[in-house]
Structure 1
Amino acid sequence: MSSLFDELPARKDTRSVKWDMVKALYGTDDVQPMWVADMDLPIANPIKQALVDRAEHAIFGYTYTDKLLNQIVRQWLQKQHDWDIKSDWIIYSPGVISTLHMAVLNVTKPGDSVLIQTPVYPPFYDIVKSHDRDLVTNPLRYENGYYTIDFEDLESKFQQGVKAFILCNPHNPVGRVWTKEELQKITSLCLQYDVMILSDEIHADLIYNNHKHIPIASLSDKVSEQTITCMSPTKTFNLAGLQVSYAIVPNKDVRDAMKNEFKKYGMTMLNTMGITALEAAYTSGEEWLRELLQLLEHNRDLVVSAFQDHPEITAMKAEGTYLIWLDCTDMGLSHAELKKFMQEKAKIGLNDGASFGIEGEGFMRMNIASPTNYVQEGVNKILKALDNRN
């Protein structure tokens, strides 16, 4: 495993949300942050060098995207996901969440129903509610430490007139990478009931062994015409602060309407460094990504095995993402007590499971995109706190 990931970078006093907001969020400075979904790992050297070279140019004027960048994105998707797209399907934006907001505004009307699968990434709730759409949930089934889709409930909700479905694949926070069979069942229902698919695939490149990410729009031409796919290099290459993403929109009418929506809100240009980083990541970042995945899989297995002798907590064996969903329901605590235990007893800053929806009560989310010794330290703190309860 690469020594690149051995040391914890110093991130305090860099305006880091994860590190410099600890006291504001947890009430004390002595909480180990393992929450916000960015990495405590250095970016790939080719990306760093590209950014340094661009900075040394010393001019940061308006910067445009071009056919070469489109081709770079196309080649990445073909190589990584066996997805052959056309250049004119691409729409760039500052972030996946921005794109999903524009998509909801574009493909639905006030009062329309938009479905999400809970527990799920908290901004999905705001994307629906802030535009006066009706939020409909399709809770995932949870049995024996594993999540599946409740297709009977999904069809029932679609029958009630759902207009759009925000899919999360790989799923945040439960870590599922939906299989081809599951995706085909989803698309069959979406086509049958004329439901537009808004697919958040930002974690698409972070997939563990024996699993494969399949862009849902790649399943058929009919599905692609009914899908807006949101992707980005930011999770993959730890570039979140550079705010660069893109949507794949094969349907020309939808694509033109989306472009007009972005224009209406003044979102027509990426920042210079984001473009630079995207190009460098997709042309020179593959070796770094392979080493990263080895680290993440090692860290995931470490966390899962660590709790096997402490049945009060079950760590989901994520199939993708660098996020581990911890089932703490057997601790016998209320959710408020669970939060207090993690913050005050274990001294660990995790994401509050309840923020992902009511189905997340009794759960916490852990970020493992850090050097292994840092992840081990965090796990040990929880285990020690558990032992002290007994």
Structure 2
Amino acid sequence: MQTDSKNYDFNHITDRHHTNSIKWDFNQRIFGREDILPMWVADMDFPAPDAVVEALVNRAKHGIYGYSDGMDGYYEALIDWMQERHGWEIQRDWITFSPGIVPALNELVRSLTKPGDKILIQFPIYPPFFQAIQNHNREVISSQLTLENGRYTMDFADLEEKFACGVKMMILCNPHNPVGRVWERVELERLGQLCVDHGVLVISDEIHSDLIYKGHKHIPFASLSPELALQSIVCTAPSKTFNLAGLQTSNLIIPNAKYRTAFRASFDLTGIHHPNVFGMTAMEAAYRHGKDWLDQLMDYLSGNVKFLISFLERELPQIKVIKPEGTYLIWLDFRALAMEPKALQKFLVHKAGVGLSAGYLFGAGGEGFARLNLGCARSVLEEGLQRIKTAIQELD
């Protein structure tokens, strides 16, 4: 098995056209024109670690792809990864498979709350969060993140007020998508105490938890204390970390047996009983042999962040960057252009020729913003920024 002790060239451009890539093959359907540079959906343009490719090829060569179930190596690799990467000791029976975190969020809402229950999320936020609540006739309770000096913070007074009004569940995003915050221990502990005081179950989406920039540290919410472990569910996946989203493999870590039993019973009703054999194979290989690749990736992404900030400060100072502490998703502030939300998106697509995620889709507080994915070769990032620069210059 390849041990990933090589230098990876993240500057190399791999052509993803004609691979059924949502990002590259459906511009016309998504944006209404074919000739844009897509920099939106949250997958990267980098091949997975060699060890993952090798493991998949070897499994494919077996030739039989029948029903499969959780392999010992899969569980052991995940347990070891959480311990070594995040200092969190988890137990095998806490782990429950899901084909993705978005379907898991929907099932968690459905199985652990009742119609009409109040579920809190912090805006601006990844749209499937509020969609999962609305899909099942629960009430969305919003707590707005506060932007101060280019950094978002939680409004704890508002959280306490909302929790006191009968909130049953909170869906936390850590690291936060789209604003890039990696919540600090003191913030999480304060939030956790409020949740304990008001009996709020926390669903913590930690899918970006391995994509952390130097100077910051991810802390799994359930690792804060035994009490919070019993009052929270952590959602993880290798998909963002190792660019494996198409293999549809994620994990729920549920320490509380009551919640675990309720979720599994409800999930069984979906008819999804077995994981994707290739997803399990890839995840085990990634967690066992992908550390060096990931370390090199984070160095490269850090370089992309620095390049983007430098470019905008020099060439487009009217666009402000919310500097990320984690993730490869960048929250850009275009409010100085004084455009209406939909007009801004139309400008970026049809004048600049770039496909970003429209900020208003992330709910309240997203107006005037857009989310850019810099998980790409630096030359592609530069092209996208140059396109935006040219379009803004033509406004004058």
Query: Distance in 1 between the 2:145 and 2:231 partners?
Result: 23
**Corresponding residue number in structure 1 for 2:9:** 4
The offset of 1:2, in angstroms, is 4.2
Deviations 1:169-189 (A, max 9, x none): 000000000000110011000
Unaligned runs of 5+ in 2: 1-5
The CA deviation string for residues 178-229 of structure 1, in whole angstroms up to 9 with x for no partner, is: 0001100110000000000000000000000000000010000000000010
* 2:349 counterpart of 1:343: yes
1:145-294 correspondence to structure 2 within 5 Å: 145-294=150-299
Q: Aligned-residue CA RMSD in angstroms?
A: 1.1
Q: 1:360 aligns with which of 366, 372, 389?
A: 366
Give the one of 46, 67, 85 matched to 2:72: 67
User: 2 CA distance for matches of 1:363 and 1:95?
Assistant: 27
Query: How far has the Cα of 1:336 moved from its partner?
Result: 2.0
Where do 5+ consecutive residues of structure 1 fail to align?
none
Question: 8 Å contact 1:81–1:214 — kept in the other structure?
Answer: yes
- 1:320 aligns to what? 326
Q: Give 1:387 deviation, angstroms.
A: 2.2
Cα offset, 1:322, TM superposition: 0.4
Is 156-165 or 344-353 further displaced after alignment?
Answer: 344-353
Query: Aligned equivalents of 2:107 and 2:370: distance in 1?
Result: 30
Matched, 1:49 2:54: yes
Give the letter for the 1:293 counterpart: M
Contact 2:111–2:263, Cα closer than 8 Å, also in 1: yes
CA deviation profile, 1:245-279 (whole Å, cap 9, x unmatched) = 00110001111111111111112211110011011
The alpha-carbon deviation at position 3 of structure 1 amounts to 4.6
Which AA in structure 2 matches 1:243? Answer: Q
AA aligned to 2:178 is P
2:124 counterpart (119, 136, 141): 119
**Range moving further from structure 2, 363-372 or 98-107:** 98-107
Partner SS, residue 252 of structure 2: strand
Partners of 1:12 and 1:217 in 2: CA distance: 40
Q: 1:89 aligned to 2:102?
A: no
Instruction: Name the residue aligned to 1:76.
Output: 81
User: Displacement, 1:385?
Assistant: 1.8
Shift of 1:384: 2.0
> Do the aligned partners of 2:332 and 2:372 also contact (CA within 8 Å) in 1?
yes
Q: What number of residue pairs does the alignment pair up? A: 390
Q: Distance in 2 between matches of 1:4 and 1:92?
A: 33
Question: Which SS does the other structure have where 1:138 is aligned?
Answer: strand
Is 1:135 the equivalent of 2:140? Answer: yes
Helix, strand or coil for the counterpart of 2:332? strand
Report the CA distance between 1:5 and its aligned residue: 1.1
Q: Give 1:37 deviation, angstroms.
A: 0.3
| 8 Å CA contact retained: 2:334, 2:369 | yes
Quote the Cα distance in structure 2 between the aligned partners of 1:340 and 1:108: 39
Stretch of structure 1 that moved more, 142-151 or 302-311: 302-311
Give the distance between the partners of 2:7 and 2:345, measured in 1 at CA. Answer: 35
Q: Which TM-score applies when normalising by structure 2?
A: 0.97
Task: Determine if the alignment matches structure 1 residue 380 to structure 2 residue 386.
Answer: yes
CA distances 1:75-134 after superposition (whole Å, capped 9, x unpaired): 000000000111111101101112111211122111100000010001011110011101
Q: CA deviation at 1:334?
A: 1.2
Amino acid at match of 1:147: Y
CA contact (8 A) 2:118 2:138 kept: yes
What code does the residue aligned with 2:263 have?
M
Q: What CA distance in whole angstroms lies between the structure 1 residues aligned with 2:339 and 2:122?
A: 25
Q: Percentage identity across aligned positions? A: 45
Amino acid at match of 2:213: Y
1:67 positional shift: 3.3
Relative to the length of structure 1, the TM-score reads 0.98
The CA distance in 1 between the partners of 2:198 and 2:293, in whole Å, is 42
Amino acid in the other structure paired with 1:161: G
Contact kept? 1:94, 1:243, Cα under 8 Å: yes
| Alignment-derived partner of residue 3 in structure 2 | none
